[in-house]
Amino acid sequence: MLKIGITGNIGSGKTTVSKIFELLGIPVFYADAAAKAVMTTDQLLIGGLKQQFGNEAYFDNGELNRKYIAAKVFTDPAELAKLNALVHPAVFRSFDEWVKGFSDVPYVIKEAAILFESGSYKLCDYNIIVTAPLQMRLDRVIKRDHITPSEADSRNSRQMPEEEKVKLADFRIKNDDTELVIPQVLALHQQLLKLAESK
């Protein structure tokens, strides 16, 4: 079974592309959702967060005190790096556990916003980047999240530039209205099935 990473910068449509793969019967692991889940289920991570940020990181009922954590890391890159150093390995562990449930499929997909930034692309056999022009991506995010252009710009600027990700990726899907996305996904699906067979 192959492990395929998929990513794309904010507003690229990586989740939409992932949903098409799901319709083809390919299991998709959503790393962002997993990151939220492991915060309250992975005991190693919970212990690490309490040690790093204090017991106030969690409420008495075991829920994560998101506002408290956000206030700690939002303006301090060093604190954010510490948080990521704890969360990323927990998400990797979660993915490894999840994969065990799919021994009968040719490949699985890991969808992650920070696939390249976190280094998790190295744990995948191949990686896909979903791309779209910057202004188109920003317009999508402004419409989707009801945010201002400057907020969208700020979110985008915190990500690795798209052109750098393109260099690291094995495959590219263009979601820029010049080519239909579904035929691109279908063609790539066939390619990945062949690669899985030859492994």
Topology annotation, domain 32-101: Rossmann fold (3.40.50)
Distance CA 14, CA 175 (A): 9
DSSP secondary structure letters along 53-81: H-GGGB-TTS-B-HHHHHHHHTT-HHHHH
Query: Do 164 and 43 touch, CB atoms closer than 8 A?
Result: no
Task: Kindly state the tokens that stand for 41.
Answer: 């289920």
The per-residue pLDDT for 77 is 83
Distance CA 138, CA 135 (A): 5
- CATH code that applies to domain 1-27+106-199: 3.40.50.300
- Count Cα neighbours of 36 within 13 Å in the Cβ-side half-sphere: 6
The per-residue pLDDT for 118 is 86
Per-10-residue mean pLDDT, the chain, length 199: 96 95 97 92 94 94 92 86 91 93 95 91 96 94 92 87 95 94 97 94
User: pTM for the full model?
Assistant: 0.88
Beta bridge partners of 110: 5, 29
Domains of the chain by residue range: 1-27+106-199, 32-101
Residue 62 burial (CB count, 10 A): 9
